[in-house]
Amino acid sequence: MSQMRRQRPQTPYRQPQRPTRRPAQPVRRRAPSGMSKLFGNPLFAVALIIAVVVIFVLVRRGGGTSDRYYCEGVYINDVDMSVYTREEGESMLREYARNLTDRQYTLTYEGRTWSFTPKQVGAKINADTVLEKAWNLGHTGSSSTRSNTMLSLRYSPQKLYTEYTYSEEKLDAYIESIASELYIAPVDADVVITATKPVVLSDSQDGRELDSGVLKQTLVNAILYGGDETIPLPVKVKHASVSSSNAEDGLQLIVTYSTSMEGSASNRRNNVRLALSNFNGFAVKPGETVSFNEVVGSRTELNGYLTATVYYGASVTTGIGGGVCQASSTLYPPLLKAGMTIVERHNHTMVVAYCEASMDATVSEDAADDFVFCNDTDYTIYIYTSVTSEAATVMIYGRRPDYRIELVSTILQNDIKNTAVTYVKDESGKYAYYTDEYKLKKEGKLGRRSKLERVFYDWNTGEEVKRELVSEDYYSGERDTYWVGVHKP
């Protein structure tokens, strides 16, 4: 079938009219916007790239990897934990704990060694507890709770610290085990007490001992802070309490003192000699306290004591052991001069003739009066005694005191009269026959008040260094004694 083509109708031709030309106008361009300027700045472009990277990291950390890392603002022992995953943080802290508790130390002394690790004394760090607490910050609770925790941590970081503990009892036991291995006891010089004086028989030997206090502080520092892995043991010399040189120096005669025995009856001399014999060759060590009554014992006939004159109140009478007070009074002054400390001393009730005022020391079993002294010096003293018909003597050997010591006795009053009287019946009637007849038999001695001072002098210059009051004493007057008759008038 043939297609028919429709033709367009023709129109009469028209001459095209020339358009009227307008004056040329300047082309107006649109000014660039603020955003176009910003994006065109190269510095902004760099900052934008950095921001994108940071956002990417934050999104990465806050997204799929947030459960692997500790939150920002969490610190353990001042270490930022946000750079660690949970496994890394645990590994780091446990390694830190092992480095402290398992560290090996070597203790040395003269070629010998001892090993030590803090774990031996129960040292441990609460790493698990702190790790758990650090991880729970921002990883537990609801989504909003975790978000609030992480936001809070950015402004208020949480700093956690491990606790390091050890057993002090185990540490002390470890140190004691080493101390017992190292200890060597010192040996004192052997001083023999001969009949006349002490003699050094064998020399002394120094020992050694561990300074446990210093070692303990060193090991505590090692446990807590680490330090040098080789530790020299602090061992010190333990000197003998009686060294050879000190013994020889301490065996010189430093004091000799005597009281008069002239006019004493044989029984009285026996009692004085017997009492003082207990102190012959008697050693008093530093810090030792001595009781006269304990050393001498009971004054009985069984122990060899005899009847002799004794003071009984303000009267003179007789009794078993009369004269023993002269033994204690002979010991008292030389002990003062040797630098001893007097713990207990009593003066007589009346004046005694065998020593100066306030230089006596009475003792009594009945009245429990004792004479007690203590050696407060650093050296042993040795006491030697002797009794003859003329004198009772005490000699003290030892180290010369720091000062020369003298005793000064001063009478403050010497005319104290006792108004009481003692009567003696005259059975023979030679002095008084009737019961109302009295005749003076013996006038009593006057009493007194006195004091004793201990004066210290410099050995080289002789100058007085100090003076101390030892005692102030009161002695009653002795009663007058009268004969009285026995026949009625």
CB 326 within 8 A of CB 432: no
Q: Is the pTM of this model over 0.85?
A: no
Q: Which amino acid is present at 340?
A: M
Q: What are residue 364's DSSP bridge partners?
A: 369
What pLDDT does 192 receive?
83
CB 141 within 8 A of CB 109: no
Per-residue pLDDT of the chain (489 residues), as tens digits, is: 433 333 333 333 333 444 444 444 554 555 555 555 555 566 656 566 665 544 444 444 444 335 789 999 999 999 999 999 999 999 999 999 998 899 999 999 999 999 999 999 999 999 999 999 999 999 999 999 999 999 999 899 999 999 999 999 999 999 999 999 999 999 988 888 887 888 888 888 999 999 999 999 999 999 988 889 999 999 999 988 777 777 777 788 999 999 999 989 999 999 999 999 999 999 999 999 999 999 999 999 999 999 998 876 666 778 898 999 999 999 999 999 999 999 999 999 888 989 999 999 999 987 789 999 999 998 889 999 999 999 999 999 988 899 999 999 999 999 999 888 989 999 999 999 999 999 999 898 899 999 999 999 999 999 999 999 999 999 998 889 999 999 998
What pLDDT does 59 receive?
42
Q: What are residue 480's DSSP bridge partners?
A: 421
What pLDDT does 1 receive?
40
What is the C-alpha separation between 463 and 151, in angstroms, rounded?
85
Residue 316 φ/ψ, nearest 5 degrees: -105, 130
Token pair for residue 81? 């934990």
What is the C-alpha separation between 308 and 320, in angstroms, rounded?
6
**CB-based burial, 41-60: b 16+ in 10 Å, e otherwise:** eeeeeeeeeeeeeeeeeeee
CB atoms within 10 A of CB 149: 19
CB 448 within 8 A of CB 349: no
Question: Which residue in this structure is represented by tokens 């002095």?
Answer: 431
What pLDDT does 31 receive?
52
What is the C-alpha separation between 246 and 204, in angstroms, rounded?
10
What is the C-alpha separation between 157 and 121, in angstroms, rounded?
35
CB 235 within 8 A of CB 215: no
Residue 258 φ/ψ, nearest 5 degrees: -135, 150
475: enclosing H helix or E strand: strand 464-475
What pLDDT does 58 receive?
47
